[in-house]
Amino acid sequence: MIKIFLTLFLILNSLKAADSSTFSDKQQLLVIVKEMIQAEESIARAYESYIINKKKIPEDYNSLLTEDYLGTNFKSIPEISNFSFDFKKELTSRVVNTSLESDTSALRIYESDLFRKKTYYTNNATTDVKSDDTIVFKLEDEFVNHLYFLSSTAGFDLIKCDTAPKKKYCWNKESDDENVIYIYTDNTQTDLLMYYSIDKFKTGPIIITSDTSLHVTSEEEFSSIPKGALLYDTDAVKYIKTSDSLEAVK
């Protein structure tokens, strides 16, 4: 909090040398910048909530413009009406508004972490993004990070396991109360790596293959399991997930 007030004090104090109308314009611009950041923070929170609730990645920005997430009027706010998203490439909210580029003090605040918790600014975007300036979402929930990994690897289309063509990551609703995710070694769905009930992902039990060689060759899938989760392989051997491996429990 002291950091926020001190930074704003220094910036606003440096502007007092300008005439009153210019100072007033600067103050208004800073208000707009803060509103832009708050809007991006709201979108990041809604994005994560959507994944937790729907167990899938939002198709697009409009998926969040509902009463359950951002509200139907969110997009009508002038400062954020030109947001653009591509959820299926990276966790990016929008290209930085070029109107800020002429004001270094406002742009400096926008690019800082002053009002940010769920987002951060970066200018190291992938080459297929038109601008190098992007705002990236921070995913805090372990299951959301896991599901994002599965979805991004499987082409952002986590399908039901009995759907054709098959994919290595899929889900199956076994009852009205239980969603189970299955992870295979490849799209043939021949060799099963693991499966688990979604509501048991963070603690277990997670059922895994008894082929210990696959624990190594499928490192990415196993490394995304939360530390401390309980696992059983198909031969009933008990494991616990540590920070960097699976440890058999004797």
Q: Residue 51 is part of which domain span?
A: 2-137
Q: Report the pLDDT value the prediction gives residue 10, as an integer from 0 to 100.
A: 45
119 and 201 inside one domain: no
CA angle 16, 18, 20 (to 5 degrees): 80
Question: What pLDDT band is residue 36 in, cutting at 50, 70 and 90?
Answer: confident
pLDDT at residue 32 greater than cutoff 70 = yes
189 and 72 inside one domain: no
129 and 173 inside one domain: no
Higher pLDDT, 60 or 145: 145
72 and 127 inside one domain: yes
124 and 36 inside one domain: yes
Domain-terminating residue out of 108, 137, 166: 137
133 and 147 inside one domain: no
| pLDDT, tens digit (0-9, with 9 covering 90-100), for 203-233 | 999 999 999 999 888 888 888 899 999 999 9
Question: Amino acid identity, residue 118?
Answer: K
| Residue 246 vs residues 149, 191, 194, 214: alpha-carbon distances, Å | 19, 19, 13, 12
11 and 128 inside one domain: yes
9 and 127 inside one domain: yes
- What percentage of the chain reaches a pLDDT higher than 70? 72
| pLDDT, tens digit (0-9, with 9 covering 90-100), for 142-174 | 888 888 888 877 766 678 888 888 888 988 866
44 and 152 inside one domain: no
157 and 206 inside one domain: yes
In the chain, how many domains are there?
2
pLDDT at residue 51 greater than cutoff 70 = yes
Domain-terminating residue out of 85, 113, 137: 137
